[in-house]
A = this chain, B = another copy of it.
Amino acid sequence: MEASSSLPVKATLANVFHISPDRIYFDQTTGFLQIDGQNAFKPTINNGVSYASSDVIAEAAAEATKQQPMTFVLIHGSWADASFWDKTVAELKSKGHAAYAPEYAGHGKLYDPNVTHEAIVESVVNYIKSNHLTNIVLVGHSFGGSIIQKVAEQVPDQIHRLVFFDAFVPLDGQSVAEQLPPELQGAFGELVKGSGNNTIPMPYPLFRDGFVNTASETLAKQIYQSAKPEPATPLLQKLDLKKFYTLNIPKSYLYFTSDMAAPQGDTYGFHPAQSRHLGQFRLITGEGDHMSAAYAKPAYLEEKLYEAARD
Contacts and interface: CB of A to CB of B under 8 A. Distances in A.
Interface of A: 10-11, 14-16, 18, 21-25, 27-28, 36-38, 68, 87, 90-91, 205-206, 208-210, 213-219, 222, 250, 257-258, 260, 263-267, 269, 271-273, 276, 280-285, 287, 289, 292, 295-300, 307, 310-311
A252 B4 CA distance: 47
A60 B210 CA distance: 29
Contact of A38 (B15, B218, B299): B218
B258 A37 contact: no
A8 to B, nearest CB: 8
> How many copies of this chain does the complex contain?
3
- Most interface-central of A27, A218, A258, A271 (chain B CB within 10 A): A258
Given A14-B18, A18-B10, A307-B214, A266 B263 contact: no
A297 B34 CA distance: 10
A282 to B, nearest CB: 5
A310 B22 contact: no
Given A18-B21, A213-B283, A265-B272, 15 more contacts: A21-B299, A25-B87, A25-B91, A28-B90, A37-B215, A208-B282, A209-B280, A209-B281, A217-B310, A217-B311, A260-B282, A264-B283, A266-B266, A283-B289, A285-B287
Given A14-B15, A25-B299, A298-B25, A263 B272 contact: yes
A66 to B, nearest CB: 10
Given A36-B296, A299-B22, A271 B282 contact: no
Contacts of A300: 22
Contacts of A214: 284, 307
A228 B14 CA distance: 37
Find the residue from A25, A90, A281 having the highest chain B CB count within 10 A. A25
A222 B266 contact: no
